A = this chain, B = another copy of it.
Amino acid sequence: MTKLLKIGELAKLSQVSVETLRFYETQGLLSPKTRSDSGYRFYSVDDQQRLQFILHAKKVGFALQEIKRLLSLKTDSSQHTCEEVKNYTGVKIREVEAKIHDLQTMKQALDSLHQACCGGKESADHCTILNSLGDPELFSRHSSANAH
């Protein structure tokens, strides 16, 4: 019997537009727990958490359809065999690991840039490590095919 949220309330809390929420519903990503007699959407705390997952996954580069599939592992578990789940999660784990690796590399480049930079008003070409972003060694390995 916890509080249910109207679409505008959820939107505000989650920093998305109400239109986006309605759009996600058409895409089968997030449906409100219930509707009022007049058709108003009411979202539960679970719905809110599901939305957080969607937003975080999106932020790190997953497409909505991918996210839908990730979520379906939870939602429709009886529809999948263990074998399927094992294979799919295995693939996704490697994908996530590659993304983490790329981000760590990028962070290093940004860190060295940030530290080398005096932060003053003068032109940034005195920051000799600006080239850190272009270091040949940085991203040279594991140029895996893009899963798209």
Contact = CB atoms under 8 A, between A and B. Distances in A.
A106 B60 contact: yes
For the complex, would chain A's binding face be called helix, strand, loop or mixed by DSSP majority?
Answer: helix
Interface string A35-66: 00000000001100110110111111100000
Contacts of A90: 114
A82 B118 contact: yes
A111 interface: yes
Interface string A11-36: 00011000000000000000000000
Given A78-B124, A118-B82, A73 B138 contact: no
B60 A123 contact: no
Given A82-B122, A97-B107, 6 more contacts: A56-B106, A57-B102, A74-B130, A80-B124, A81-B122, A90-B114
